[in-house]
Amino acid sequence: MRRLPSRPITATDVARAAGVSQSAVSRTFTPGASVAPATRAKVLEAVKLLGYRPNALARSLITGRSRIVAVVMAYLDNQFYPDVLEELSGRLQERDHQVLLFTAKNGSASDPLLDQVMRYQVDAVVLASTTLSSALARECRAAGVPVVLFNRTTDDPDVSSVTGDNLGGAERIAAFLAAGGHRALAFMAGSETSSTNRDRERGFLRGIARAGLPKPTRVVGHYTLAGAAEATRALLSGPARPDAIFCANDHMAIACIDVARHAFGLRVPEDLSVVGFDDVGAAAWRGYDLTTFSQPLQPMVEATVGTLMDLLENPEEPPRAAVIKGELVVRGSARLPAGGFTTHEGRRVWRP
Amino acid sequence: MRRLPSRPITATDVARAAGVSQSAVSRTFTPGASVAPATRAKVLEAVKLLGYRPNALARSLITGRSRIVAVVMAYLDNQFYPDVLEELSGRLQERDHQVLLFTAKNGSASDPLLDQVMRYQVDAVVLASTTLSSALARECRAAGVPVVLFNRTTDDPDVSSVTGDNLGGAERIAAFLAAGGHRALAFMAGSETSSTNRDRERGFLRGIARAGLPKPTRVVGHYTLAGAAEATRALLSGPARPDAIFCANDHMAIACIDVARHAFGLRVPEDLSVVGFDDVGAAAWRGYDLTTFSQPLQPMVEATVGTLMDLLENPEEPPRAAVIKGELVVRGSARLPAGGFTTHEGRRVWRP
DNA sequence: CCAGGATTTGCATAGGTATGCATAGGGCGC
DNA sequence: GCGCCCTATGCATACCTATGCAAATCCTGG
């Protein structure tokens, strides 16, 4: 019963079976095209009979739209990204677009990758990798392909981006830690070349200055678990042990807590407060119960898809730099200030 | 300086610039084609000058190969899957193939999804979703598209699959718990329709029978955090509290530990042992330190890609059902037997 | 019953590349 | 120096669908 797929069924086959022209078949699958209901019915019957499916590639060749969006990602072990991916893919599928996924090895050159992206005639590109050189963005734009940077910005004011409130969030974290009575703060940087890290550090420093606290100790965790663990060890072995660490993302904060607890026997938050950024799923796990500034997934993805669709309609659209507000979600990994708590969407949050 | 993308550069443009025919350009990009080095050089120069990139879609139209592999996934919040995705995508990119990602909402019908998959003329499909109906697999095969089931099997002996050692692993877990002196075992099922769950349950029961222990209590966690939390509450509130729970995957085991510790004040493993399956990254986090049976990612993905490539070369290839062996990775979430420990790739493992 | 407008239909072509075939060119041996 | 063979090249066509245009059909109102 293993019937060989003799030859793929084409629109011409369907046309012959339905006794109409190939054009009629095409129009049946083109929304808004002019087809008589009777013809349409005949066509659909033949389609069902033969198991025909339009060839999206051939269609793209003519229309110049592939309905494919390239998504470039790295760090998929940081839960934030798969969550973004799932949401993004879902939203795009809803709008009849597909996701062509490119995973960038962390240190790898982006050139061959860009080549592949361009060859597939993607309609747009979402760059959701903090590390990739912004050359990629520039080249895409040069080729006339709309680009949206996700969770990342670049100096080029001509490229659209969607980010969380890195500056404001980090500043609020500083205020929160100051209000909680911490005096010796530390900052664990992620990847030093990333814009998220730059903004979060800048915001944190600004908040610290405002609170009149001394400059924080600084270590680098490279946005990886291993890097964060090592950075934590360095920090806690040093002469001036901090009483609070702000890690540039949740992923690192988790490693930080693990090391503090199990390698140094510290209690969190009694001996050491740890705060993260992103509010990934694991931050709510009771084993970590992480206080963190949220990057609201759905609004961020909606802004991305919205920008994308607008750019597809009109490539001349001026670029947007959307900054999606978040909240400081208070859990149990940092000592609490006396007041300032509110409830937001069922979670306890803090505002200065 | 915003140069409008006047018109995409085609091979004909390059040919004109290089003073050769369009065929020569095409052959320059076709490995093994007959082109004189001098011609090739002229072409490449023009290519660079104009910024030409071959149109992969047009190429696919002729060759009948798109070099696109559809990957259908769900449950991206279970860390196992993004890890698989990253590895799979990397391996396929190495072999010049691209990943078209389809995320299946957990309960959704697979038909419109299948339609999209087929329209894009993908060369092959990887089904990595425990929930999706096997109708999808059947239909793909009917259309002559190679399918590999990942972490899942089906009754149809004609479709290839790659899984971990669900039966053997679960059986070993039972033996491990028995050797550790547990007497009242419980099993937390995942999605009851999935083959992984079926096999893990079957293996667990077999191991229990072999050890001469009574049948385990059974709850269902649906492979979700919320489901697992509720199942754990039901289990621990019940009359006969178990002294060990085998959760059908790590994702659920984590929720289980959280509830046991924080809602019931139990100590893990002193009051309750918890064992998972998969050995995801989070299992090694010190906050959970989960004992679990590993599904080795790289071998599984390699087997998948290997099968895929072979099927692409020869669609008549007989189907394979690869079962990748794993190890019982011993950490701190379950009471330990007296002996049976070994070291395997730097991790402590247990063999009966 | 007819004219005229609106709607539907088919024809032909385009979109960018790969490839079979025939031809042109080059090198080598005798 | 000639012939032969092998390599390199160009021409023409095919892949499958969408769409402008002209022709055909239908419907409506007078």
Which chain B residues have a beta carbon less than 8 Å from that of A5?
143-144
CA-based nearest residue to B246, from B298, B311, B172, B312 = B172
The predicted structure's pLDDT at residue B7: 77
Quick check: B3 pLDDT over 80?
no
Q: Tell me whether residues B90 and A79 touch, CB distance under 8 A.
A: no
- The answer to whether strand D lies under 7 Å from the CB of residue A237 is no
* Superfamily designation of domain B64-164+297-323: Response regulator (3.40.50.2300)
The predicted structure's pLDDT at residue A158: 85
The predicted structure's pLDDT at residue B142: 80
Q: How confident is the model at residue B133 (pLDDT cuts 50, 70, 90)?
A: low
Mean pLDDT of the region B317-343:
94
Assign domain A64-164+297-324 one CATH number from 3.10.310.70, 3.40.50.2300, 3.90.870.30, 3.40.50.200.
Answer: 3.40.50.2300
> From the alpha carbon of A59, which nucleotide's C1' atom is closest?
D17
The predicted structure's pLDDT at residue B2: 39
The predicted structure's pLDDT at residue B132: 64
Which chain B residues have a beta carbon less than 8 Å from that of A83?
76-77
Mean pLDDT of the region B100-123:
82
Q: Provide the residue ranges of all domains of chain B, joining segments of one domain with +.
A: 11-54, 64-164+297-323, 166-296+328-350
Quick check: B1 pLDDT over 60?
no
Contact A205, A195 (CB under 8 A): no
State both tokens at B323.
Answer: 């079962």
Mean pLDDT of the region B42-62:
92
Q: How confident is the model at residue B113 (pLDDT cuts 50, 70, 90)?
A: confident
Quick check: B112 pLDDT over 80?
no
Q: What strands lie across the sheet with A273-278, from one edge to the other?
A: A217-220, A185-189, A244-247, A273-278, A291-294, A328-329, A347-350, A341-344
Contact A246, A177 (CB under 8 A): yes
Q: What is the pLDDT of residues A108-165, one digit of tens each?
A: 666 778 888 899 999 999 999 766 667 778 888 888 899 999 999 988 888 899 999 9
The predicted structure's pLDDT at residue B37: 86
Which residue is closest to B287 within chain A, CA to CA? A287
The predicted structure's pLDDT at residue A142: 80
Q: Judge whether B11-54 and B166-296+328-350 match in fold.
A: no
Give the CA angle between residues A209, A212, A216 to the nearest 5°.
60
- Looking at the complex, report in whole angstroms how far the Cα of residue A242 sits from the nearest Cα belonging to chain B: 22
Which residues does chain A have with pLDDT short of 50? 1-5
Assign domain B11-54 one CATH number from 1.10.260.40, 3.40.50.1000, 2.60.120.200, 3.40.50.720.
Answer: 1.10.260.40
Which residue is closest to B91 within chain A, CA to CA? A103
Comparing A246-250, B135-139, B254-258, B275-279, the range with the smallest average pLDDT is B135-139
The predicted structure's pLDDT at residue A5: 47
Summary mean pLDDT of chain B: 91
Q: Tell me whether residues A285 and B121 touch, CB distance under 8 A.
A: no
Q: How confident is the model at residue B106 (pLDDT cuts 50, 70, 90)?
A: low
> From the alpha carbon of A23, which nucleotide's C1' atom is closest?
C10
Architecture category of domain A166-296+328-350 in CATH: 3-Layer(aba) Sandwich (3.40)
DSSP string, A120-181: TT-SEEEEE-SSS-THHHHHHHHTT--EEEES---S-TTSEEEEE-HHHHHHHHHHHHHHTT
CA-based nearest residue to B167, from B321, B3, B334 = B321
